[in-house]
């Protein structure tokens, strides 16, 4: 199923370099403490993104990774930032050491594409955990660190700093996701293979195949490097997933590895990081990740909505001074800052829980005491319409910030074909001829993208609260920011808006948004939304345990039935009736 997608941003490297230097000026003037350390890590993350963009630009030109003046200059700067992060972390945020200045080499690209570092945005990957993991390695020689782009640029810098290693290199694995490879030019190859180094491969993951890590390992082994001189620093202690080969699993089991994960230390760190915002913690934080939050809102497991633990953000219930708070990973640096801004905007209209602030990548919000999930037959359409419309009005997005109509058609065709076969997929393909007309009508906003019934709570005072409202427009999937009509389609499907209710619901959205919902675009989005959520549920079934597989299967069959009916009953699925009935 086609579900995942990358988020990219085009920037001028010189402009971004000036922004990073301004950040460093502010860091140098800031008082010691977690806040200053947080800003330092944010600068590391942004510099790593910039190095990724510049290195990928050179890779695109030469089809191999090589030394360039721009890569080396930025890499040296990033290594010094990594050293500062180590110093700050080791000193409990009291000291930084000497901060560097960034001066980019002349003759570099005028613009580069930066990829969102997924681990820093979604999966609570922390550079400091990689520092500690690197120091647990048992090395037989001087460390040579190899990071994999994207996130490996920043992570390899802190690992090299922790090990006292020279300038790390980063490589771009390419090819089929289940069988990636790397390409390194002869001069850099000669440099890497000099001496009796111990090679340390750094990335997040491993994922389903583990092929990114093994692409580097295979390159080294093919050049005579024995397994005992290779180590890996991944983001978790698990093994590659179901798409991995027996050979990769065997190698992974025998290679030295240390996971960059705080593991059992998370509650202690959460308590310490949150203390400045909410005061001393009354009791150890309670882990609500991986679906554990359902124990607080549902009396019976039979009523639990499905979840995929691997896709959930790390989150905790924290009690301080007699009050309770939800502490949920939002992202490092500007990623988390953006979400805090969204939370504050939406809370002013009482649409989400009250945000308190950020604690080193975790958003702290007041717990909704006494709130309860919606009943299975509840249809608070006026309130949901107000939420969708108000959100669209408050949260505009850049024009290129989400999947195109062409991307969504491709996704829908793929997922429908896998579920039903090519004949029904042909009904989706007819939308391709309308793609140019539809894309001109899109006004992108930071859509919610997940309006499931279980995403709403009724507070003790009677207010409808949207949970999980900050993440899905920039989640690790292909949808991204869409037109207001995407959320209208999603709500109509999830809340089961019937034909008699649909026009009133759409009108209420339009009134709150002060904008028109395009009916033909809504018709297409209805098909695309169902195909996407169907694919998401089917993919989730492959990476979770049997009880969740059953819940996901029930949800997938509901999406499939509605999608099949929609496509079969309308053929082209473009008439207004298909979008409202």
pLDDT tens for 124-149 read 999 999 999 999 999 999 999 999 99
Q: Number of helices (H) and strands (E) in the chain: give both, helices first.
A: 21, 17
pLDDT tens per residue across span 339-383: 999 999 999 999 999 999 999 999 999 999 999 999 989 999 999
- Token representation of residue 522: 């809504």
CA gap 566, 431 in Å, rounded: 14
CA gap 316, 364 in Å, rounded: 10
**CATH topology classification for 8-261:** Rossmann fold (3.40.50)
pLDDT tens per residue across span 218-242: 999 999 999 999 999 999 999 998 8
**pLDDT averaged over every residue in the chain:** 94
All CATH 3.30.200 domain ranges of the chain, comma separated, are: 266-283+306-366
CA gap 144, 197 in Å, rounded: 6
Mean predicted confidence (pLDDT) in 320-339: 96
CB-CB contact of 144 with 200 (8 Å): yes
Among 322, 360, 311, 324, smallest CA distance to 340 is for: 360
- Domain 266-283+306-366 sits in CATH 3.30.200: yes
**CATH topology classification for 372-580:** Aminoglycoside 3'-phosphotransferase; Chain: A, domain 2 (3.90.1200)
Taking 70 as the threshold, does the pLDDT of residue 577 lie above it?
no
Among 208, 213, 212, 214, smallest CA distance to 243 is for: 208
Taking 50 as the threshold, does the pLDDT of residue 114 lie above it?
yes
- Which residue intervals of 136-288 are DSSP H helices? 152-163, 186-192, 211-222, 246-254, 266-278
For residue 4, the model assigns a pLDDT of 73
Q: Which pLDDT band holds residue 2 (cuts at 50, 70, 90)?
A: low
For residue 399, the model assigns a pLDDT of 86
Q: Would you give the DSSP letter of residue 402? A: B
CA gap 528, 578 in Å, rounded: 13
Kind and range of the H or E run holding 171: strand 169-171
306 Cβ partners below 8 Å, 6+ apart? 537, 540, 548, 551, 552, 554, 555
Q: How many CB atoms are located within 10 Å of the residue 571 CB?
A: 12
Give the pairing type, strands 323-329 and 315-320: antiparallel
All CATH 3.90.1200.10 domain ranges of the chain, comma separated, are: 372-580
Burial of 159 (0-12, 13-18, 19+ CB in 10 A): buried
Mean predicted confidence (pLDDT) in 259-274: 96
- Token representation of residue 327: 């502490």
């Amino acid at each position: 199923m086609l579900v995942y997608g990358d988020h990219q941003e085009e920037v001028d490297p010189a402009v971004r370099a000036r922004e990073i230097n301004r950040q460093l000026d502010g860091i140098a003037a800031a008082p010691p403490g977690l806040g200053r350390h947080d800003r330092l890590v944010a600068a590391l993350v942004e510099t790593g993104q910039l190095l990724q963009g510049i290195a990928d630009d050179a890779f695109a030109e030469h089809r191999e990774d090589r030394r360039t003046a721009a890569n080396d200059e930025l890499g040296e700067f990033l290594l010094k930032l990594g050293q500062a992060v180590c110093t700050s972390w080791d000193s409990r945020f009291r000291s930084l050491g000497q901060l560097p200045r960034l001066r980019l080499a002349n003759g570099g690209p005028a613009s580069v594409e930066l990829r969102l570092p997924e681990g820093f945005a979604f999966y609570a990957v922390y550079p400091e955990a990689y520092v500690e993991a690197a120091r647990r390695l048992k090395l037989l020689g001087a460390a040579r660190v190899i990071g994999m782009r994207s996130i490996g640029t920043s992570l390899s810098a802190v690992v090299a700093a922790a090990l006292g290693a020279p300038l790390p290199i980063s490589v771009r694995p390419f090819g089929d996701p289940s069988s990636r490879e790397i390409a390194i030019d002869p001069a850099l190859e000669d440099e890497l293979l000099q001496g009796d180094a111990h090679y340390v491969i750094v990335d997040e993951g491993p994922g389903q195949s583990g092929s990114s890590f093994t692409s580097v390992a295979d390159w080294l082994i093919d050049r005579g490097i024995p397994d005992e001189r290779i180590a890996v620093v991944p983001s978790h202690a698990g093994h590659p997933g179901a798409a991995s080969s027996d050979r990769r699993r065997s190698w992974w089991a025998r290679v030295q590895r240390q996971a960059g994960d705080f593991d059992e230390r998370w509650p202690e760190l959460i308590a310490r990081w949150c203390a400045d915002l909410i005061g001393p913690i009354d009791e150890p934080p309670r882990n609500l990740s991986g679906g554990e939050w359902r124990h607080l809102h549902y009396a019976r497991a039979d009523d639990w909505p499905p979840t995929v633990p691997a896709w959930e953000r790390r989150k905790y219930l924290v009690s301080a001074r007699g009050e309770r708070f939800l502490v949920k990973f939002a992202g490092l640096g500007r990623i988390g800052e953006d979400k805090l801004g969204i939370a504050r905007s939406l809370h002013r209209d009482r649409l989400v829980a009250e945000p308190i602030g950020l604690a080193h990548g975790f958003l702290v919000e007041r717990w909704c005491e006494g709130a309860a999930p919606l009943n299975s037959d509840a249809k608070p359409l006026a309130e949901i319409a107000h939420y969708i419309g108000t959100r669209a009005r408050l949260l505009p997005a850049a024009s290129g910030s989400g999947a195109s109509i062409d991307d969504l058609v491709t996704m829908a065709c793929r997922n429908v074909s896998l579920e039903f076969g090519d004949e029904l997929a042909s009904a989706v393909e007819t939308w391709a001829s309308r793609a140019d007309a539809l894309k001109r009508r899109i006004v992108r906003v930071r859509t919610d993208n997940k309006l499931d019934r279980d995403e709403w709570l009724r507070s003790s005072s009677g207010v409808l609260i949207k949970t999980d409202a900050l993440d899905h427009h920039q989640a690790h999937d292909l949808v991204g920011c869409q037109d207001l009509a995407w959320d209208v389609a999603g709500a109509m499907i999830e809340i089961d808006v019937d034909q008699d209710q649909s026009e009133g619901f759409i009108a209420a959205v339009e009134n709150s948004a002060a904008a028109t919902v395009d009916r033909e675009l809504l018709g297409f989005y209805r098909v695309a939304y169902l195909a996407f959520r169907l694919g998401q549920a089917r993919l989730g079934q492959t990476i979770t345990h049997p009880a969740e597989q059953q819940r996901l299967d029930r949800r997938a069959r509901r999406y499939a039935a509605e999608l099949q009916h929609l496509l079969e009953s309308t053929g082209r699925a473009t008439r207004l009736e298909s979008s409202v009935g």
